[in-house]
Amino acid sequence: MAEIKLYDTTLRDGAQTEGISYSVQDKIRITRKLDDLGIHYIEGGWPGSNPKDWEFFRLMKKNRLKNSQLVAFGSTRKANIKANQDNNLNKLVLANTKVITIFGKSWDLHVRDVLKTTLEENLKIISDSIKFLKTKGKTVFYDAEHFFDAYKANPDYALKTILTAQDAGANVIVLCDTNGGTPQSELKNIITKIKPYIKTELGIHTHNDLDLAVANSITAFELGISQIQGTFNGLGERCGNANLCSIIGILTTKMGVNCIPKSKLKELTETSHYISEVSNVKHQDNQPFVGHSAFAHKGGVHIDAMLKNPSTYEHINPHLVGNHRRILVSELAGKMPIILKAQEMELNLNKKSPKTKKILKLLQDMEHRGYQFEAADASFELFMKRAFKKYKKFFDLESFKVVVEKRLDGSVVSEAIIRLSVNKKERYTAAEGDGPVNALDNALRKALNEFYPNLAKMHLSDFKVRVLDEKAGTAAKVRVLIESQDDSDDWTTVGVHENIIEASWQALVDSIEYKLLKDKVK
């Protein structure tokens, strides 16, 4: 098999995800994280397209990378002008990166309908652009945009475009499934057909519109392609790009390919969560290898088998990629979650222990009242610590008040007022928020930040409410689930009450106390 190089485009393709907007400092932080992990190439953005990316490359001139090469991205020259007069190409040179990636048109449809030029002029555009960058001493990666759709529409012309790039001196030709609509069988067939004509290294860039981006990238690698492009957590426009977390996991643990240093593999999960945090998006729980649920077990039969031999229901040891096993608490799991959580806390507990039965009875009573610890692992850990008297209170609440005011101009304002004490030091704070729970969260943090500054590194990422007994109408109990995140982890807490604000308060307090316990705050 070919040696593989990983090319990350989170800062450019990933930034096109709906709802994501990176600041320059965000981009620098992610670059440093990817560099530390050992990704070969990090595409920083398109310096000729916007001031933010230009500023990023300017600042990165002062930030040397340890393991990775920074890449500037752009397009081929415009039609009917000389390459040395093209503003985009000149900006790429001024970005001061050794490696430059440019994309060009492979599909005759795009040449006619988008570029509005001739097929012959498009070949000159590709050739001139690459030759110009090569005269500047640059390593040039050529992204053959829409290559697979182009080949299906007009195989002779699609092949001619990449042969032109090869003749012009491109160091790597990247075959792009830009629309993400190519099944594995078609991708394999097309790569097999064009490979005999190509002497230059080949890369692959896939989108996930068929949910096949990772599978197609691995297939391309098996066919001898030496560069895989993708994004962390599969970020990207529409359905996203090939997920480098999954690709790294598959290559290292299943195929024996060290695409990142062995010593760094255990940092994969933390890096994935960090990028979600900086991107300000919820981390996908069911993401392979690095997701919160990737090694979560719920069924009693599964759990029993796992205790005897973890390989019965896990395809790898989660610690290899920096993740961990989770046993979910539910009516299906019985006593085992309690015993396993006790073992994590270095407490002696077994199925026959009276303490186990007592805790199980308490747990069942709470579930009967509406608590759902299966989806709230952090609250379950706090429940266990309280049961074993291993729990430390970080503050004492004296009172809180939440006021929602609808004003004459139609605006709705929420304000929370909290009185609490930390180590007998009283604090009285008030804060507004987008809603009553947000106001409560803001006021609580405002009161606690002086004592626990690490709370500034966490935020609430999701809030769910479920009515437990619809027949009771507005008097029904509600269950609130709050998901929180910091730069290395995410966790979920639960609260149950007839009053939605009280249920939210319970989940909110658990969330903050779990963060403090996790960080070993004293």
pLDDT tens, position by position, 29-73: 999 999 999 999 999 999 988 999 999 999 999 888 999 999 999
Give the three-state DSSP class for 421: strand
Lowest-pLDDT range, 117-126, 147-156, 255-264, 330-339?
330-339
Cα Dmax for the chain? 84
What is the CATH code of the structural domain delimited by 5-279? 3.20.20.70
Burial class (CB in 10 A: 0-12, 13-18, 19+), 196: exposed
What's the pLDDT band for 378 if we cut at 50, 70, 90?
confident
pLDDT tens, position by position, 16-38: 999 999 999 999 999 999 999 99
**Pairing between strand 425-433 and 459-467?**
unpaired
Q: Which residue in the block uniquely carries the two structure tokens 């032109």?
A: 164
**pLDDT for 520 beyond 70:** yes
Look at 355 and 433; give whichever has higher pLDDT: 433
Sort residue 375 into left (φ over 0), alpha (ψ -120 to 50) or beta.
Answer: alpha
> Averaged over 193-219, what is the pLDDT?
98
What's the pLDDT band for 332 if we cut at 50, 70, 90?
very low
Q: How far is CA 148 from CA 129, 145, 213, 223, in A?
A: 22, 9, 13, 15
What's the pLDDT band for 374 if we cut at 50, 70, 90?
low
Amino acid, res. 65:
L
Where would I find the H helices in 169-226? Answer: 184-194, 213-222
Give the three-state DSSP class for 329: coil
**pLDDT for 280 beyond 90:** no
What pLDDT is recorded for position 347? 67
* Contact by Cβ (8 Å): 71, 99: yes
Look at 519 and 83; give whichever has higher pLDDT: 83
What's the pLDDT band for 165 if we cut at 50, 70, 90?
very high
Q: Which residues pair with 172 in a beta bridge?
A: 141, 201
- With respect to CATH, is domain 296-368 assigned 4.10.430.20? yes
Query: What's CA 129's distance to the chain center, in Å?
Result: 34
Give the residue extent of every domain in the chain.
5-279, 296-368
Across the chain, what does the average pLDDT equal? 91
